């Protein structure tokens, strides 16, 4: 990185914790799809912490065979343990492992970042499940606390079968959808739950994430050739179908479906539609009806006019500041620059940089994420410890943290309202007001 690295280090100044690292990743011939996703995951605090914990428990090469999880944990450990604050790291071992595990990524062709993210998370889940099964079948079975330290926990979560392992990947990224179908003849409602690690949303021109989510949960009528077989009526009937979000995850990953097959063209086309994604997102279209607030912390951006060529970069929020990662290059940017990646208001535009994968972190009321003793990692750790500690000890730990929170943290309440009356223009379509309450 050289002069560019020292320039970034000067720009970072003392605004960031001494322990934080900002490293570019070397491109091994069209591996930008991998680099952009890795940067987003590295700055996903609970994911990084779990990986580093995993590395700490498996750093002895004799402990486990090399796999995608050990390679990723090793890469994150390399970044976090660098003496310098900025620089470039070559994720060669990890990329080689990706290509070995999946032939789709072996060529030097342009790859899809969302496909890679999906493959990576599911592969990590499979590895954790195999390790947990091997541990429980061996004579020296791990205790609950050791299981949690190794990144696994066998408690039952909503929407998951009892015999299925709930790994730390599930606890961070997994949500639950409810697919409801109502027979229009007998009014019987059939509900089926399914889990997800990310939400793929159809997009429209001059829309917003909020409107896309509303369309995702809109009611669809099944008739003609699409009639529903009702078990109560024992026949095909007209029905209404609706998908609802039953349980939201800690980290909400939203994939914007920017690549669509156009039958007239006989090929996929990139949709450059303007889709507004706010820095603060409030979700209300859930089964329980409660509002849930999320904060945007990373965006994977597709650069280019088509699905089979182009480039991927990522925007990352770290300690209230935004950074731009383009393979080896890292730069600081203003938050206002995020809106330039919403998309194009007109179909034919020179702007080809469009938000593709969005990473939102669930907000803890009254607590600023990523900061202080009660950050997102602490919340996730508490969630895990409640299953391993005796109730009196867990309550004592919780009380101590709350006292620490009361005496040392500024409570910031930020209210963002998304104005959906007009999202086609160039003005940032959300208003902001902030009130700070200082503890006494």
Res. 350: pLDDT tops 60: yes
Domains, in order of start, for the chain: 2-437 (3.90.70.10)
pLDDT for the residue 249: 96
- Other beta carbons within 10 Å of 435: 9
Tell me the per-residue pLDDT of 179-205, one tens digit each, with 9 for 90 and over: 999 999 999 999 999 999 999 999 999
Band the pLDDT of 412: cuts 50, 70, 90: very low
**Full DSSP string of 53-88:** HHHHHH-STTTS---HHHHHHHHHHHHHT-SSSEEE
List of residues 6+ apart from 224 with CB closer than 8 A: none
Share of the chain above pLDDT 90, in %: 59
Across the chain, what does the average pLDDT equal?
Answer: 81
Tell me the per-residue pLDDT of 248-292, one tens digit each, with 9 for 90 and over: 999 999 999 999 988 888 888 999 999 999 999 998 767 666 789
Band the pLDDT of 345: cuts 50, 70, 90: confident
State the residue for tokens 């690549």.
Answer: 259
Res. 158: pLDDT tops 50: no
Band the pLDDT of 295: cuts 50, 70, 90: very high
pTM for this model (two decimals): 0.79
Exposed/middle/buried for 399, CB within 10 Å: 0-12, 13-18, 19+? exposed
Res. 414: pLDDT tops 70: no
**Residues identified as active-site:** 32, 311
Average pLDDT over residues 303-331: 94
Could you give the CA distance from residue 252 to residue 271 in angstroms, rounded to a whole number?
22
Average pLDDT over residues 102-131: 94
pLDDT for the residue 411: 36
């Amino acid at each position: 990185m050289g002069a560019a690295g020292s320039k970034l280090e000067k720009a970072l100044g003392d605004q960031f914790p001494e322990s934080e690292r900002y490293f570019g990743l070397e491109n091994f011939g069209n591996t930008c799809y991998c680099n952009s996703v890795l940067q987003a995951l590295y700055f996903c605090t609970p994911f990084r912490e779990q990986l580093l914990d995993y590395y700490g428990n498996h750093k002895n090469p004799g402990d486990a065979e090399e796999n995608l999880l050990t390679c990723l944990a090793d890469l994150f450990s390399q970044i976090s343990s660098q003496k310098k604050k900025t620089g470039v790291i070559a994720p060669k071992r990890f990329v080689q492992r990706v290509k070995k595990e999946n032939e789709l990524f072996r060529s030097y062709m342009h790859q899809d970042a969302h496909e890679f993210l999906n493959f990576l998370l599911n592969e990590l889940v499979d590895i954790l499940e195999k390790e947990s099964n091997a541990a429980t079948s061996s004579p020296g079975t791990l205790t609950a606390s050791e299981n949690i330290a190794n990144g696994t926990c066998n408690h039952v979560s909503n929407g998951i079968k009892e015999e299925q392992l709930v790994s730390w990947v599930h606890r961070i990224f997994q949500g639950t959808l409810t697919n409801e179908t109502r027979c229009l003849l007998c009014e019987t409602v059939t509900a089926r739950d399914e889990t997800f690690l990310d939400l793929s949303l159809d997009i429209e021109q001059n829309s917003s994430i909020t409107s896309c989510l509303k369309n995702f949960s809109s009611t669809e009528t099944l008739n003609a050739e699409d009639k529903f077989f009702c078990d109560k009526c024992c026949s095909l009937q007209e029905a209404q179908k609706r998908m609802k979000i039953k349980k939201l995850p800690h980290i909400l990953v939203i994939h914007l479906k920017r690549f669509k097959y156009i039958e007239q063209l006989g090929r996929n086309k990139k949709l450059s539609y303007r889709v507004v994604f706010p820095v603060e997102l409030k979700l209300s279209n859930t089964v329980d009806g409660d509002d849930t607030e999320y904060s945007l912390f990373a965006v994977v951006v597709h650069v280019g006019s088509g699905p089979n060529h182009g480039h991927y970069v990522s925007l990352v929020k770290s300690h209230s500041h935004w950074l731009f990662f383009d393979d080896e290059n890292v730069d600081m940017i203003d938050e206002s620059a995020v809106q330039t990646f919403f998309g194009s208001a007109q179909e034919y535009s020179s702007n080809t940089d469009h938000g593709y994968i969005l990473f939102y972190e669930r907000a803890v009321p009254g607590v600023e994420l990523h900061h202080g003793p009660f950050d997102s990692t602490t919340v996730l750790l508490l969630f895990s410890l409640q299953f391993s500690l005796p109730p009196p000890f867990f309550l004592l730990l919780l009380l101590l943290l709350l006292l620490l929170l009361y005496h040392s943290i500024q409570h910031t309440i930020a209210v963002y309202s998304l104005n959906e009356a007009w999202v086609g223009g160039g003005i940032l379509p959300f208003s902001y007001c902030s009130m700070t309450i200082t503890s006494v």
